[in-house]
Amino acid sequence: MLEISAKLEEALHRAFLKVFPTDNRSSKTSSILTSSSLVPASKPEFGDFQINCALALAKEIKQSPRDIAQQIVDQLKNDDDFLKICNPPSIAGPGFINLSINSTTLISEIHIRLNDKRLGVPLKEFSNKKIEEKRNHNRVIIDFSSPNIAKEMHVGHLRSTIIGDCLARVLEFCGYEVLRINHVGDWGTQFGMLITHLKEVVPEALHTKDAVEISDLVNFYRQAKKRFDEDQIFQNKSRSEVVNLQAGNQESLLAWQLLCNQSRKEFQKIYDRLDIKLTERGESFYNKFLVDVINDLKNKNLLINDQGAQCIFLDGLVGKDGKPQPIIIQKSDGGFNYTTTDLAAIKYRLTNPPHGDGAFRLIYVTDAGQASHFSAVFQIAKLADWIPTNCQIEHVPFGLVQGEDGKKLKTRSGETIRLVDLLDEAIQRAKVDLKARLNTENRFEKDSFIDTVSTTVGIAAIKYADLSQNRISNYQFSFDKMLSLQGNTAPYLLYALVRIAGISRKGGDLNVSSKKIQFNEDQEWALIRKLLQLDSVISEVERELLPSRLCAYLFELSQIFNRFYDQVPILKAGEPAKTSRLALCSITAGTLKLGMNLLGIPTLERM
């Protein structure tokens, strides 16, 4: 409906010109008029769109809102281009103008979608002027997942992975070239203790050609940390190991590689199960740019020496003690930190190739706890003039994952939950539910069917539960809720698709392409209107980066489809109703599949 609403918007502004000639407008009137736009109708019975400006104008031009609305409506009723799309508008309440798209337009939009793989969603076109320029305006970087080497990937990383992947899919679908960057924590002082521990407990690791497996890297990290905290000699060795590593000592680098590879393998298992594609470019990648960052900031007079450390003081940033709080860019021992690395990363990502990525939009998906870090980093990048005009840089924060008790998610015995176990449990529970349902339905299915369905449903449930929440709020993890066939859940959406696949199995031909279609029932019109909203929903997600909007849309679509399916005969209807309804089934299936695909959720024909 994006194109249609744009056309209506134009008609509205033509009407404004007639009713309020520009030479006669007060500045207030002008500003009300220029900012006036169509808003989606608050209830389906009001039509498709509403125009609410009459109320705001009434005060300014001292006429009743109904009179103003009437004059606008009179103009619209005389506008042929408007009437091609819309029924004659009506006025409701104190002076709202209600618009409803006429059936000819709705039907022709449905026709278009029947023959369009993109279901009416426009593909962004980028100017082909100069390759450099083009690169700058279609390339987006999404920095997501980004766990830390040798540490457990936790539920926060899971959220980042699921949300980041969904945003990447949506932006890719819109036509952007998306770099999916895994900014893993693969550098820092913790490697001193890890390498020291490695050299002592698996010395052979560094001297054989075969890769040595450290079966439990997380436990390995814990042991190293324990020794570091308790043993002074070990601590000293670890410190000099950091120096070795930074100086490029071969053996230290080998040990570091080994630890990274080991971790990488573990992370990859999760990514494979979730069907996530990422390009790893960890913190270590930016090492060679860190000195440049310092020099650049120094040259721009942004650095202040505070007790030996190179710092930036940002306006308004104060610590708990009320004193200005420094952002440390280089520690007093000369070392760099998380902030320095992120500054180098911004610079690199915004610099045009061959010296950088040349992206125009940078998106960082992490928990809300890092909001102040990113806010500081972005401010510094602005002060340093690294953000070209037309480039956007944004933090996409999300809330905590909590257990059903509202506390941090833990196992029954109080330990942090491993992601693999979380996925396994969702699949296991989906299997139990499925078997129970098959039993009550007296269905027999092969084991392979049961395995595929429960794996798909389990993973889908985890992803969807996460994506369907407004990401900013904390989210309560509940297997029971996410696996339920009722409510805003993955199984509910998957089931709507299964119903449509069932229609086709019963002989309904969903390949309706250009046949005559005709509609009479309210349930049909409601479904059509919902189907036509897909393009606006996607463009909203593209702008606001809220996957929950797409989820809410798919949920509403499924509800409206289910009402249609339950109340209107499809296969038993005569023609042209049957073909017309099959056309709606086909577009609904296409829309749900596309939507789920953008969420990163595979679909099923039967479940």
Residues that bind ligand ARG (CB under 6 A): 143, 146-148, 183, 185, 342, 345, 364, 366
Residue-level length of the chain: 607
Q: State the nearest-atom distance from the C-beta of 336 to ligand ARG, in Å.
A: 14
Nearer Cβ to ligand ARG (360/374): 374
Q: State the nearest-atom distance from the C-beta of 140 to ligand ARG, in Å.
A: 15
With CB atoms as reference, the residue minimizing the distance to ligand ARG is 146
Helix (H) and strand (E) counts for the chain? Answer: 23, 14
Helix/strand/coil for 187? coil
Distance between CA atoms of residues 430 and 437, nearest Å: 11
Bridging pattern class, strands 177-182 and 279-280? parallel
Q: How far is CA 548 from the centre of its chain?
A: 8
Nearer Cβ to ligand ARG (397/602): 397
Q: State the nearest-atom distance from the C-beta of 366 to ligand ARG, in Å.
A: 5
Distance between CA atoms of residues 32 and 44, nearest Å: 26
Nearer Cβ to ligand ARG (152/524): 152
Distance between CA atoms of residues 346 and 382, nearest Å: 10
Distance between CA atoms of residues 30 and 532, nearest Å: 32
Q: CB neighbours (10 Å) of residue 339? A: 19
Nearer Cβ to ligand ARG (185/547): 185
Extended beta strands in 378-455, E state: 392-398, 401-402
Q: State the nearest-atom distance from the C-beta of 378 to ligand ARG, in Å.
A: 11
Q: Cβ distance 258 to 195 under 8 Å?
A: no
Q: State the nearest-atom distance from the C-beta of 373 to ligand ARG, in Å.
A: 7
Q: State the nearest-atom distance from the C-beta of 314 to ligand ARG, in Å.
A: 18
Q: Which two tokens stand for residue 21?
A: 């000639």
Nearer Cβ to ligand ARG (362/541): 362
Nearer Cβ to ligand ARG (212/368): 368
Q: State the nearest-atom distance from the C-beta of 183 to ligand ARG, in Å.
A: 4
Distance between CA atoms of residues 270 and 158, nearest Å: 9
97 sits in which H/E element: strand 96-99
Q: State the nearest-atom distance from the C-beta of 369 to ligand ARG, in Å.
A: 8
Q: Which two tokens stand for residue 393?
A: 């840089």
Q: Which two tokens stand for residue 99?
A: 């618009």
Q: State the nearest-atom distance from the C-beta of 145 to ligand ARG, in Å.
A: 8
Nearer Cβ to ligand ARG (395/529): 395
Nearer Cβ to ligand ARG (205/362): 362
Helix/strand/coil for 475? strand
Nearer Cβ to ligand ARG (347/549): 347
Bridging pattern class, strands 401-402 and 475-476? parallel
Q: CB neighbours (10 Å) of residue 209? A: 4
